Amino acid sequence: MNATIWHNPRCSTSRAALAMLTDAGATVTVVEYLEDPPSRDELARVYARAGVAPRDALRPGSTAVADDDAALDLMVRDPATIQRPVVETAKGAVIARPADRVLDLL
């Protein structure tokens, strides 16, 4: 199985989700989104696939936004506002908080 994780190596939840994926034998593409941020279109695509409104995918404490378009614009400008980790496989996509949400995709 192939998986992609938008990962922050400094985040314990992100590290735990990555470990669960590798322990399950997944071939994981790790995207360090703070260094290689996703495009606005990629953000919108993954959140739609996950069934999550972009404004609900902002990290707690991020700047308040009026709507999903503003949330996407904020994430593009400041990728640190993206809630992590985001995991995608052929079965779907999730914001893996808590980390064991990745199990739904295995």
11 has catalytic annotation: yes
Given 1, 2, 11, 24, the catalytic residue: 11
12 φ, ψ to 5°?
-65, -35
Of residues 72, 91, 90, 92, the one with CA closest to residue 82? 72
Rounded to whole angstroms, the Cα distance separating 60 from 67 reads: 16
Catalytically active residues, by annotation: 11
